[in-house]
Structures are given as structure tokens and as C-alpha cells.
Amino acid sequence: MKPFFMLVLLSAFSVASQAEEYVKKSINLSPDLKALLVEEMKEVKKGMESLVTSVATGDWRAIAETGQHIKHSYIIKKRLTSEQKQELKKTLPAGFKSLDRKFHYYAGMLSHVAKERDIELVHYYVSKMNEACTSCHAQFASDRFTGFSQKNRHEEHMH
């Protein structure tokens, strides 16, 4: 096959797989649970922002604390009535729950590797956490974060 056609095929594949990856799935939480989720997100955002500085300055203690804090930031799990727990169980899609679990796992690992003073692994887990934010928002909050439904210009240039 001529290289040009290979390229076209390849990029068609990657567009298709990306579209698949970001299929829109909405989650419908009741207002009180939604408020708790937003509260958790604000905490997480603050933590991620503080990592820019603590990672850049090798502040191991601060990195470890932030990781630990985010790991336990399951507000969602903390102050819930049993009805709310049931609602979460029923409402949240499996994909959401597994991303959430991964995200908190990475935060725990970040804390661990910061205590070991391993900067490369610190970078690794910070980027895994960031990927989890993007991936969850692209799939489950794309009405709110509309950037993810816009086309990838980089791929457009390749056509």
C-alpha cells in the first residue's frame, strides 16, 4: 500500500478511536450530591495547583501531604446518608467509578514516592493524575467542559 494511503487510514483510525474514547456519558446526580462532588473537585484543584510549586521546589513533605489529602478527599464517601450511598451506587457508571478509584490510587502513590524523594516518579504520578482529570471530564462532564468536543487541530492538519 502506498504510504499516503497508509497515513490516511491511520489517521482515520486514530480519529475513530478518539471519538470512541470520549463518548459522551452524562451523570445525573441529585443537587446535594452534585454539590458534594463540586466541593471535592475544588479541593482537588487546589491540591493540583499547589503541586506545581511543591514539585518544582522539591518540597517532599508538601507533595506527600497533598497526595495524601487528595487520596482521602472522597468527600463523596465521607458525609453520606445511606440513601445517598445507594444513589451513588445506582447512578454512577462503572467507568466513572473506576476512573475515580484510579485517580485516588495515583494520589496515594504520589504521596508514597514523594516520601522516597523520587522526583521522576513524582512527575509520573502527577501526570497520571492529570490524565485522570482530563479523561473523566471528557467522558462525564463534556457539557460543562466543552473543549473536549472541539476537533483536534493537529489531526486536521494531517489530512
Which residues lie near ligand HEC (CB under 6 A)? 27, 37-38, 41-42, 44-45, 48, 96, 99-100, 103, 129, 132-133, 136-137, 140-141, 144
Q: Is 7 helix (H, G, I), strand (E, B) or coil?
A: helix
Question: Nearest distance from residue 2's CB to ligand HEC, in Å?
Answer: 42
Cβ proximity to ligand HEC, 78 vs 155, nearer residue: 78
Nearest distance in Å: CB 30, ligand HEC: 13
119 burial via Cβ count (<10 Å: 0-12, 13-18, 19+): middle
CA 35 to chain centre: 18
Q: How far is the CB of 121 from ligand HEC (least distance, A)?
A: 17
**Cβ proximity to ligand HEC, 80 vs 136, nearer residue:** 136
Distance CA 41, CA 74 (A): 10
**Beta carbons within 8 Å of 28's beta carbon, 6+ residues apart:** 91
Task: Tell me which amino acid residue 31 is.
Answer: P
Identity of the residue, 3 or 31, whose beta carbon is nearer to ligand HEC in the bound complex: 31
Min dist. Cβ of residue 11 to ligand HEC (A): 29
Nearest CB to ligand HEC, comparing residues 49 and 156: 49
CA distance 113 to 103: 15
Which one, 34 or 156, has the nearer CB to ligand HEC? 34
User: Rounded to the nearest whole angstrom, what is the least distance from the CB of residue 95 to ligand HEC in the complex?
Assistant: 9
Distances (CA, A) of 142 to 19, 73, 123, 134, 136: 13, 23, 27, 10, 9
